[in-house]
């Protein structure tokens, strides 16, 4: 028994969800300079995602000619990710005075570039770079999953060709038998947890990141929970993306 | 519900006997709520646009019809070996050996099936047997031979080339051999010209040009300015608009306001609004018809040196400047309302603006100054209103 109660007798969690329920998922498209460009949907648009209390902003720069000539790949585009986690994003303010990103952020940057360089159709943009800029405004457990979801939506909004939609959720384990989907920050503190990302809401796992130790025989169920969460999340994302871009369809016709 | 089948209960509650079906219902409700939120947002936007002429139910139905047309990335477009893949699609080849899986030998063994998937958010377009998906968000310009575009010089390379930003994913190249040099059309390019490249066209100059060739599947673009209608741009203002607002047509240069304002609608979303008095000028210069040959060469030299000058015409007074900015605002209004920009619409918006001036003239806090009126037009709500009026006017005419 842990000293922290993760759900009460009715099976409800701290924030009122059930064990297999996702957080509320709201995404929207905004333009960085809504009025200055005099066109509501210019090439530089920002995607905002609120997944529970996670608040993430993603801007995608490119595809464009790289400023650094040495980075040119004549066959395909090069991806680069930059994650900026703001110091006020957590409950306790980050007291680290240096502006350099910490070890975990660097790890995430590497993982995300690896993940999305398989998903973006890089061959269609030779000799160019695509840079992804992520800003985390608020963290509430499962930030990595929120970042991955937001980047997917941003890529679609920027009409960059991708093979499929990637969705990610975080999962936690209670007492080595129960699994919780889409953790909040309290649950993430006390539980052994991990993040799983799948391609197109199917069975193809593209990222599996486990933070802590837990028995290996739990991993099958652990992944199954994640896959189901991802497949639901994929439907939500497609619906929201279509709704976001509906007004542009009217113009085409 | 389709989501019903997908969702399985994950936790086996040993201590609490919670109904599985109850759990599922809750989950579905949660999903629906999420969806309702976003759709209600969308309705609001549409309501504003259509001004509640149509009832909500019909609006929703229409939205659902439109949503069904949209293809998201990763969706299976078609499953057949007959069709070819076009833009924004990709394929995976699946080899089915049906003889292995089914014991009946009536199917063809080793049949190849070509699954075509979409790779962007867009609408399906089918030309004969070519399947392609047209993008909803057109951000980048895809060059085609013969396009009339406007580019900005980014760098001058050592290899007799200029690199231009043309709103695409790569920079376009303009070679020294494909521009008109000062001093006549038929002249050999020598080393002196190569050294003078930076004097002709500098970084930041705007150039009116045409696409000469597209290589390497649209990533290597060559431009040329070998015509009198192309060349360096001055005496005006640049407006950048979203791709897709300008359609390819026979002519992209239009004259307005008694041929005093020239607007170039570049195919790549760059628009140049300028003051030009060209037709009158050529008549006055051709006075001496006797010594034609020498005159022509002299005029050619004069004009061609003029082409590359940096200084704006000093004859442009405040009135014409205001006129230019008026047309700039017209284009901004059209772009703000996501309306396709063409000659007719610019004219009709100009008329609307004139009447709008009169309307605001009745207001108490108007000084009647034309500057203030232009400032008033920069208001998003006014822009929206004018766009709405324009659409209504077009609907009336049919």
Q: Which two tokens stand for residue B44?
A: 């609001």
Q: Write down the pLDDT at residue B25.
A: 44
DSSP state of A95: -
Answer positive or negative: Cα dihedral of B183, B187, B190, B195. Answer: positive
> CA of A115, closest CA in chain B: separation in Å?
16
Residue B310 resides in a domain: no
Residues B245 and B124 in one domain: no
Q: Residue A43's closest chain B neighbor by CA? A: B139
Q: Say whether both B86 and B22 belong to one domain.
A: no
**CA distances, A92 to each of A88, A134, A147 (Å):** 8, 21, 21
How far apart are alpha carbons A235 and B120 in whole angstroms? 16
Nearest Cα to A212, choosing from A195, A187, A226, A192? A192
Residue A171 has pLDDT above 60, yes or no: yes
Do B381 and B244 fall into the same domain?
A: yes
* B246 and B128 together in one domain: no
Mean pLDDT over B163-167 rounds to 87
Specify if B178 maps to a domain. no
What letter would DSSP give residue A162? B
* Strand arrangement, sheet containing B89-96: B76-79, B111-118, B89-96
- Which has more pLDDT, B265 or B55? B265
Which ipTM was obtained for this model?
A: 0.82
Do B336 and A40 make contact, defined as CB atoms within 8 angstroms? yes
Residue B141 lies in a domain: no
Q: How many angstroms from the chain centroid is the CA of residue B349?
A: 20
Q: Measured in whole angstroms, how far is the alpha carbon of residue B254 from the centre of its chain?
A: 18
**A199-233 b/e (C-beta count within 10 Å ≥ 16 → b):** bbbeeeebbebeeeebeeeeeebbbbbbbbbbbbb
How many degrees, rounded to 5, is the angle at CA B119 between CA B115 and CA B121? 125
Please check whether residues B85 and B54 belong to one and the same domain. no
Among B102, B135, B168, residue at a domain's last position: B135
Pairing mode, if any, of strands B122-127 and B76-79?
unpaired
- Which residue of A158, A231, A240 is in closest CB contact with B137? A158
- Give residue-wise pLDDT tens across range A64-82: 788 777 777 888 889 999 9
Q: What is the pLDDT of residues B198-245, one digit of tens each?
A: 778 888 889 989 999 998 777 788 998 887 778 888 888 888 887 778
Say which DSSP state B187 is in. Answer: -
Rounded to 10°, the helix B380-397/B318-336 angle is: 70
B127 with B31, same domain? Answer: no
User: End of a domain among B118, B135, B152?
Assistant: B135
Helices (H) and strands (E) in chain A, counts: 5, 9
Q: How many domains does chain B have?
A: 3
> What's the CA gap between A144 and A141, in Å, rounded?
9
Q: Please, which pLDDT band fits residue B297 given cuts at 50, 70 and 90?
A: low
- pLDDT band with cut points at 50, 70 and 90 for residue A187: confident
**Which domains occur in chain A, in start order?**
25-252 (3.30.230.70)
Token output for B177: 């051999």
Tokens at A44, concatenated: 């530089």
- Regarding whether B124 and B89 lie in a shared domain, the answer is yes
- Candidate from A232, A246, A248 with C-beta closest to B137: A248
Quick one: which of B253, B241, B268 has its CA closest to B333?
B241
SS3 per residue for B134-167: EECCCCCCCCCCCCEEEEEEEEEECCCEEEEECC
Domain assignment of residue B289, yes or no: no
d(Cα B264, Cα B255) in Å, to the nearest integer?
Answer: 9
Domain that includes residue B254, residue range = 236-276+317-398
B213 found inside a domain: no
Q: Is B351 found in the same domain as B252?
A: yes
What does the pLDDT read at residue B108?
A: 43
> Which range has the worst mean pLDDT, A231-240, B67-76, B261-270, B296-305?
B296-305
Final residue belonging to a domain, choices B31, B50, B69: B69
| Structure-block tokens of residue A65 | 């000619």
B208 vs B224: CA distance, rounded Å = 9
Instruction: Specify whether B24 is located in the same domain as B123.
Output: no
B33, B82: one domain: no
The percent of residues in chain B predicted with pLDDT above 70, rounded, is 65
Give residue B284's pLDDT: 44
For residue B84, being part of any structural domain is answered with yes
- In this structure, what DSSP letter does residue B174 have? E
pLDDT class for A44, splitting at 50, 70, 90? low
Alpha helices in B105-258 (DSSP H): 191-195, 197-200
> Residue B117's closest chain A neighbor by CA?
A163
Distance CA A127, CA A77 (A): 6
CA distance B328 to A149: 39
Q: Which of A143, A168, A142 is nearest to A153 (CA)?
A: A168
Rounded distance, CA A30 to CA A10, Å? Answer: 40
Q: Is residue B231 part of a domain?
A: no
- The C-alpha angle A33, A34, A35, rounded to 5 degrees, equals 100
**A48 CB near a chain B CB, below 8 Å?**
no
**What residues of B are in contact with residue A252 (Cβ under 8 Å)?**
123, 134, 136, 244
CATH code for position B89: 2.40.50.100
Is there a domain that residue B151 lies in? no
Bridge partners (DSSP) listed for residue A196: A169, A208
B241 to chain A: nearest residue by CA? Answer: A39
Q: Return d(Cα A65, Cα A121) in angstroms, integer.
A: 17
- Are A65 and B18 a contacting pair at CB < 8 A? no
Report yes or no: A251 and B338 within 8 Å, Cβ to Cβ: yes
> pLDDT band for position B365 (50/70/90)?
very low
Which residues of A fall within a CB distance of 8 Å from B243?
A: 43
Burial per residue of B97-131, b for 16 or more beta-carbon CB atoms within 10 angstroms, e otherwise = eeeeeeeeeeeeeeeeebbbbbbbbbbbeeeeeeb
Cβ of A43 within 8 Å of Cβ of B242? The answer is yes
Are residues B245 and B373 both part of a single domain? yes
Residues B323 and B397 in one domain: yes
């Amino acid at each position: 028994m842990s000293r922290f109660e993760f759900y009460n007798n009715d099976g409800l969690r701290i924030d009122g969800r059930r064990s297999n329920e996702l957080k509320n998922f709201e995404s929207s498209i905004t333009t960085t300079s809504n009025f200055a460009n005099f066109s509501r949907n210019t090439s530089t648009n920002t995607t905002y995602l609120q997944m529970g209390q996670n608040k993430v902003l993603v801007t995608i720069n490119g595809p464009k000619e790289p400023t650094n000539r040495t980075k040119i790949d004549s066959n395909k585009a090069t991806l680069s990710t930059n994650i900026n986690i703001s110091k006020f994003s957590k409950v306790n303010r980050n007291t680290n005075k240096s502006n350099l990103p910490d070890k975990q952020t660097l790890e995430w940057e590497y993982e995300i570039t690896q993940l999305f360089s398989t998903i973006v159709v890089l061959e269609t943009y030779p000799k160019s770079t695509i840079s992804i800029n992520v800003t985390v405004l608020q963290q509430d457990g499962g930030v990595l999953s929120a970042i991955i979801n937001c980047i997917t939506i941003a890529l679609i909004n920027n009409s960059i060709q991708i093979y499929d939609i990637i969705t990610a959720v975080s999962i936690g384990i209670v007492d080595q038998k129960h699994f919780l989907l889409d953790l909040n920050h309290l649950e993430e503190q006390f539980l052994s947890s991990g993040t799983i990302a799948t391609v197109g809401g199917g069975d193809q796992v593209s990222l599996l990141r486990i933070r802590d130790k837990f028995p290996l025989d739990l991993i099958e169920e652990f992944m199954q929970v994640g896959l189901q969460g991802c497949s639901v999340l994929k439907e939500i994302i497609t619906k929201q993306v279509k709704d976001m871009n509906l007004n542009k369809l009217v113009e085409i016709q | 519900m389709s989501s019903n089948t997908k969702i399985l209960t994950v936790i086996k509650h040993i201590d609490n006997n919670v109904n599985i079906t109850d759990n599922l219902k809750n989950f579905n409700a949660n999903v629906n709520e999420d969806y309702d939120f976003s759709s209600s947002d969308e309705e609001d936007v549409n309501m504003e646009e259509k001004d509640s002429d149509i009832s909500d139910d019909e609006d929703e139905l229409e939205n659902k019809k439109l949503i069904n047309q949209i293809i998201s990335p990763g969706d299976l477009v078609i499953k057949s070996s007959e069709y070819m893949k076009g833009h924004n699609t990709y394929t995976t080849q699946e080899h089915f050996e049906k003889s292995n899986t089914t014991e009946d030998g009536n199917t063809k063994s080793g049949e190849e099936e070509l699954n075509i998937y979409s790779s962007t958010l867009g609408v399906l377009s089918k030309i004969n047997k070519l399947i392609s998906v047209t993008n909803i968000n057109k951000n980048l310009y895809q060059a085609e031979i013969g396009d009339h575009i406007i580019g900005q010089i980014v760098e001058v390379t050592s290899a007799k080339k200029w690199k231009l930003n043309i709103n695409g994913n790569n920079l376009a190249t303009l070679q020294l051999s494909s521009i008109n040099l000062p001093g006549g059309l038929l002249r050999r390019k020598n080393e002196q010209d190569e050294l003078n490249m930076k004097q002709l066209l500098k970084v930041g100059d705007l150039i009116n040009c045409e696409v000469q060739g597209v290589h390497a599947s649209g990533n290597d673009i060559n431009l040329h300015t070998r015509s009198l209608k192309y060349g360096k741009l001055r005496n005006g203002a640049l407006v950048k608009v979203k791709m897709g607002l300008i359609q390819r047509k026979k002519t992209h240069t239009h004259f307005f306001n008694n041929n005093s304002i020239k607007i170039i609608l570049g195919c790549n979303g760059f628009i140049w609004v300028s003051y030009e008095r060209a037709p009158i000028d050529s008549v006055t210069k051709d006075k001496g018809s006797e010594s034609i040959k020498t005159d022509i060469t002299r005029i050619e030299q004069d004009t061609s040196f003029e082409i590359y000058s940096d200084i704006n015409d000093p004859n442009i007074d405040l009135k014409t400047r205001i006129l230019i900015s008026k047309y700039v605002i017209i284009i901004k209004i059209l772009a703000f309302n996501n309306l396709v920009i063409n000659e007719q619409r610019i004219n009709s918006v100009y008329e609307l603006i004139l009447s709008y001036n009169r309307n605001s003239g009745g207001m108490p806090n108007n000084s009647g100054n034309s500057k203030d009126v232009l400032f008033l037009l920069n208001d998003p709500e006014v822009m929206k209103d004018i766009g709405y009026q324009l659409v209504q006017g077009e609907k009336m005419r049919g």
